[in-house]
């Protein structure tokens, strides 16, 4: 009898304990899956596009576009045409991004359209050169504008700009590793700041134009360049300022409701940037002749000194904000390409790991930051821009071709957005022109170096990706384990 009472008492205690555990479990929020979270909404998506596109280009590239176009009229037409091309390209990316809802941008589209090899060559080139060199270019511009006020009347020492650029990369990578939401807040703030200074410059230009400062617009086409290669280089530099219109496709998996927000962000963001660029260039020519603009070390700062005095100091300050925000957006998306290619086995596996605390692709972000810091050392911005544009526009054209190919090979895929196929054809032709025209007009070794580097990826693809040699895995396994423990990262969970 006593044993039965004891047994019953223990069973009741166990039941109550299990009930308490169940209650505690119900009270706790469900654990997050170890994947990148959907934290990017429509506003953050627009700010990512606008904030990445409007960087240092509008404050540096006006000189290059004018130099190669030869006159004010062609310069303004090229800026407007670049906006149209960016919009056409982005519409093609809108179809691809809503059809293939994977992060990684072109990498995912090449995998579906052309197979593993082409996707690998893209990830090899982008992860190792294009993305880190872009971050290096933008942070160098940031450093030049940030250090100039401390060296009045002279150019800041090179070592100062390089060190400041490296510090900016370190800060940006740290922010992106800590939190996706924090990176979004930073991006949104700096996007609003750069739109403010763009508005100030545009309104000031309209006022100057209304006051009769229109001398530079008479005979605007006099002295225009007729060289096919020069026009191609003018488009290079203009389109570099527009680069970023495809950034949202790199983070599709983190975008809330991508079928709605991806095309909507593109439709709102890119026309906004195009209008801003044309208005700002018109404003520049209301106070500077073409010769003065070419001789200006910082076009936006010169404009501020002539028009906004004594408030001219706000221009370099907000240019610093603009370039920093653009660098943040570039870093944000660069980490996703390395993350996806690592996840698919085209890069080392550690790059696909996610921070257990912060749910960010920390290894991929850190790797991109290290490469960008290395690329700061041989800092010739114009050479880097030409090198970057040459390879990038080859991949843009290949992406448009992928859209055409999948219209016939992947007819079963759902397409919430479907653009006329001739737009993709136009993008292929324009891309071919932008890649080939400067090479034909003025062959240079850097184009050959770029091609050789892209194809050199084949030397690594065959043994490490196609054959998956065992000795490489044995070497990488302990390295991956130690890096995983050091950074507190884990492989992403597979989701349906």
pLDDT at 445 over 80: no
Is the Cβ–Cβ distance between 136 and 375 less than 8 Å? yes
Once rounded to an integer, what is the mean pLDDT over residues 241-252?
A: 86
Q: Which residue has the higher pLDDT, 153 or 44?
A: 44
- Residue 255's φ and ψ, nearest 5 degrees, are -90, 130
Residue 332: CB partners within 8 Å, gap ≥ 6? 48, 176, 183, 187, 251
At residue 88, does pLDDT exceed 70?
Answer: yes
- 270: Cβ contacts below 8 Å, ≥ 6 apart: 49, 53, 83, 86, 87, 90, 245
Q: Which residues of 453-489 are buried (b: 16+ CB within 10 A; e: fewer)?
A: ebeebeeebeebbeeeeeeeeeeeeeebeebbeebeb
Give the span between the Cα atoms of 10 and 473, in whole angstroms.
53
The stretch 375-382 carries a mean pLDDT of: 69
Q: What is the predicted pLDDT for the residue at 117?
A: 93
pLDDT over 70 (residue 208): yes
- State the average pLDDT for the chain: 84
Task: Name the least confident of 68-72, 91-95, 455-459.
Answer: 68-72
- What whole-number distance in Å separates Cα of residue 126 and Cα of residue 340? 12
How many degrees, rounded to 5, is the angle at CA 409 between CA 404 and CA 410? 95
Q: List, for residues 39-82, the tens digit of each pLDDT value.
A: 888 999 999 999 888 876 676 557 778 877 778 888 889 989 98
pLDDT, mean of residues 456-460:
91
Contacts 24+ apart (CB under 8 A), 9-17: none
Average pLDDT value for residue range 325-329: 91
Would you state the pLDDT for residue 479?
A: 93
pLDDT of residue 381: 55
**Above 50 in pLDDT, residue 215?**
yes
220-229: pLDDT as tens digits? 787 777 777 7
Per-residue pLDDT at 61: 55
d(CA 345, CA 347): 6
Average pLDDT rounded to a whole number, residues 457-481: 90
The residue among 149 and 159 whose pLDDT is bigger is: 159
pLDDT of residue 70: 76
In whole angstroms, give the CA distance from residue 239 to residue 244: 10
Which residues touch 423 (CB under 8 Å, ≥6 apart)?
A: 88, 91, 92
Q: What is the pLDDT of residue 382?
A: 55
**Does residue 2 register a pLDDT over 60?**
no
pLDDT of residue 380: 61
Rounded to an integer, what distance in angstroms lies between the CA atom of residue 274 and that of residue 281?
A: 11
- pLDDT on residue 430: 87
- Residue 3's pLDDT is what? 41
Average pLDDT over residues 116-144: 89
The whole-angstrom separation of Cα 332 and Cα 101 is 18
């Amino acid at each position: 009898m006593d044993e039965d009472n004891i047994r019953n008492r223990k069973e009741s205690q166990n039941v109550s304990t299990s009930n308490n555990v169940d209650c505690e479990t119900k009270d706790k929020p469900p654990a997050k899956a170890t994947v990148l979270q959907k934290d990017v909404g429509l506003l953050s998506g627009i700010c990512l596009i606008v904030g990445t596109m409007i960087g240092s280009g509008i404050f540096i590239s006006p000189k290059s576009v004018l130099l190669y176009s030869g006159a004010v009229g062609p310069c303004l037409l090229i800026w407007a045409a670049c906006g149209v091309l960016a919009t056409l390209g982005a519409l093609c990316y809108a179809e691809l991004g809503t059809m293939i809802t994977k992060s990684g941008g072109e990498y995912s589209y090449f995998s579906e359209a052309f197979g593993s090899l082409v996707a690998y060559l893209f990830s090899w080139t982008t992860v190792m050169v294009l993305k880190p060199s872009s971050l290096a270019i933008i942070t160098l511009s940031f450093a030049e504008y940030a250090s100039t006020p401390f060296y009045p009347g002279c150019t800041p020492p090179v070592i100062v700009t390089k060190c400041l650029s490296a510090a900016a990369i370190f800060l940006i990578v740290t922010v992106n590793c800590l939190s996706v939401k924090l990176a979004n807040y930073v991006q949104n703030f700096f996007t609003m700041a750069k739109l403010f200074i763009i508005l100030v410059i545009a309104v000031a230009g309209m006022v100057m134009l209304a006051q009769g400062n229109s001398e530079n617009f008479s005979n605007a086409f006099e002295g225009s360049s007729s060289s096919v290669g020069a026009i191609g280089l003018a488009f290079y530099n203009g389109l570099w300022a527009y680069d970023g219109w495809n950034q949202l496709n790199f983070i599709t998996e983190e975008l809330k409701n991508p079928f709605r927000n991806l095309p909507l962000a593109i439709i709102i963001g890119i026309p906004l940037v195009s209008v801003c660029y044309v208005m700002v260039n018109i404003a520049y020519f209301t106070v500077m002749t073409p010769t003065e603009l070419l001789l200006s070390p910082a076009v936006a700062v010169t404009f501020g000194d002539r028009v906004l005095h004594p408030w001219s100091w706000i221009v370099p300050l907000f240019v610093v904000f603009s370039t920093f925000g653009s660098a943040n957006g570039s870093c944000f998306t660069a980490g996703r390409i390395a993350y996806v290619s690592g996840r698919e086995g085209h890069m080392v596996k550690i790059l696909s790991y996610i921070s257990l605390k912060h749910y960010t692709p920390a290894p991929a972000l850190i790797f991109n930051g290290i490469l960008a810091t290395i690329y700061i050392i041989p800092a010739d911005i114009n050479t880097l821009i030409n090198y970057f544009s040459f390879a990038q526009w080859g991949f843009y054209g290949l992406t448009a071709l992928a859209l055409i190919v999948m219209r016939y090979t992947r007819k079963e895929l759902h397409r919430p957005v479907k653009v006329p196929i001739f737009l993709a054809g136009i993008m292929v032709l324009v891309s071919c022109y932008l890649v080939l025209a400067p090479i034909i007009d003025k062959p240079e070794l850097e184009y050959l170096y770029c091609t050789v580097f892209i194809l050199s990826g084949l030397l690594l693809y065959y043994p490490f990706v196609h054959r998956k040699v065992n000795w490489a895995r044995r070497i990488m396994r302990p390295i991956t384990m130690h890096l995983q423990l050091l950074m507190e990262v884990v492989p992403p969970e597979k989701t349906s």
